[in-house]
Structure 1
Amino acid sequence: MKAPLTVAVLISGRGSNLKALIDGAESYKIASVISDNPEAAGLNFAREASIPCSVFPRADFPSRQAQKTAIFEALKREEPDLVALAGFMLILQEELVRHFQGRVINIHPSLLPKFQGLDTHTRVLQAGEKRHGCTVHFVDAGVDSGPMVAQASCECFEEDTPETLAARVLKLEHAIYPWTANMIALRQIGLEGSKVTYAPECIIEAKEKGFNLSC
């Protein structure tokens, strides 16, 4: 039997998407969790699942660059098959992105390319958008850029607040992120240059689940 795809998950905060990845692991194995924040609540999810954790607090390093380099070196030692960003607030080193080219994914709480950056739920409501959602994408040297893999969306209601909208989008994130990781592990999703590729079975399943793909 082929060994499952190994995944390193990078977190900075509550780790709800890490928990979803732990619970949804079918064809991949979370080999490690890395955080830049020693107080990240998500570390508890990893410990409860007996997943090795490494923490790189900013205070332990002379500079932000030194902190990022230490994280990169840790990942190089592990050499996971896939790196999943789950609420990781540091911008990755270009060297890390190059080393793991086509093997880093991120989930962002908007329907990219709209609303890159922070405070997406507030900005969506202020803009009067009718739909909102989340995007899983491969990571490149930009911020919230890189080839889009899959999106899930929900309706925006007139009575929505940023909090109510965020809660609905978070449920979508918890569904689409582990699904995407499993599809990558099964080689149902791939990356050729800057083009995301999908197996026919993946396209059918995405449609059944209401996910939108970039094909």
Structure 2
Amino acid sequence: MKKIVLFASGNGSNVENIIRYFKNNSNVSVIGVFSNNQHAKVLERAKNHNIYSESFTKSELTDGTVFQKIKKLNPDLIVLAGFLLKFPETIIHEFTNKVINIHPALLPKYGGKGMYGNHVHQAILENKEKETGITIHYVNENYDEGKFIFQEKVNIENCSSIEEIASKVQELEHDHFPKTIEKLLIPNP
């Protein structure tokens, strides 16, 4: 059984989608959800699925407290699904090529510090892009610069608001993120 730990900062629609995808999978199990926001809806979503969840402070992320908790859980994959803080190098190095992130744009465009959620969609709208998409990538020491695992594009020529762009991107996320996780954990022979 492969084990996944999820990190999120807010609503957690991707987290819940991943939990549902693997709910009846005998090969993969979501064993924990962590959030840096004690009021994040993602914690409630995890509890509704009887998944262990907890919040932590920024200092607990950087002082090794969260690292020790993750080590005890010993996940096969750590998935950042809407997690807004920079992930600690200690965890990245301990779990080499086992920490992944999803970004709501076609990296390397619209990546880096401060480029998340509606900030990304606003920049894409302002630049009159004809397409956007998602990038699933490994996490390294720099924001959004890890090796790409998967990208998918979507046409946004008819979109006139960030909400329309966000909706199309979220559809891609929900469709491709769990499938990509599964391929990483259980590669085809």
TM-score (norm 1): 0.80
Partner of 1:9: 6
Partner of 1:79: 74
Where in structure 2 are the equivalents of 1:1-215 lying within 5 Å?
Answer: 3=1, 5-25=2-22, 26=25, 27-56=27-56, 58=57, 64-68=58-62, 69-116=64-111, 117-118=115-116, 119-188=119-188
Letter in 1 for 2:92: V
Q: Deviations over 1:82-132 (max 9, x none)?
A: 000011111011111101110001000000111002311111111121110
What SS is found at the alignment partner of 2:96? Answer: coil
The answer as to whether partners of 1:28 and 1:181 remain within 8 angstroms in 2 is no
What SS is found at the alignment partner of 1:149? Answer: strand
Partner of 1:213: none
- Count residues in correspondence: 180
The answer as to whether partners of 2:129 and 2:157 remain within 8 angstroms in 1 is no
Residue ranges of structure 1 left out of the alignment (5+ in a row): 59-63, 189-198, 200-215
Q: What is the CA–CA distance in structure 2 between the aligned matches of 1:186 and 1:158, rounded to whole Å? A: 38
What SS is found at the alignment partner of 1:24? Answer: helix
Letter in 1 for 2:172: L
The answer as to whether partners of 2:102 and 2:134 remain within 8 angstroms in 1 is yes
Q: What is the CA–CA distance in structure 2 between the aligned matches of 1:67 and 1:142, rounded to whole Å? A: 17
Q: What is the CA–CA distance in structure 2 between the aligned matches of 1:127 and 1:177, rounded to whole Å? A: 26
TM-score (norm 2): 0.90
When residues 82 and 156 of structure 1 are mapped into structure 2, their CA distance, relative to the original with a 3 A threshold, is same
Structure 1 outlier segments of 4+, above 4 Å: none
What SS is found at the alignment partner of 1:77? Answer: helix
Q: CA deviation at 1:187?
A: 2.4
**Percentage of pairs with the same residue:** 31
The answer as to whether partners of 1:7 and 1:82 remain within 8 angstroms in 2 is yes
Q: What is the CA–CA distance in structure 2 between the aligned matches of 1:67 and 1:96, rounded to whole Å? A: 10
Task: Please say which structure displays the higher CA radius of gyration.
Answer: 1
When residues 180 and 159 of structure 1 are mapped into structure 2, their CA distance, relative to the original with a 3 A threshold, is closer
Residue ranges of structure 2 left out of the alignment (5+ in a row): none
Superposition CA RMSD, Å: 1.4
Q: CA deviation at 1:159?
A: 4.3
What SS is found at the alignment partner of 2:91? Answer: helix
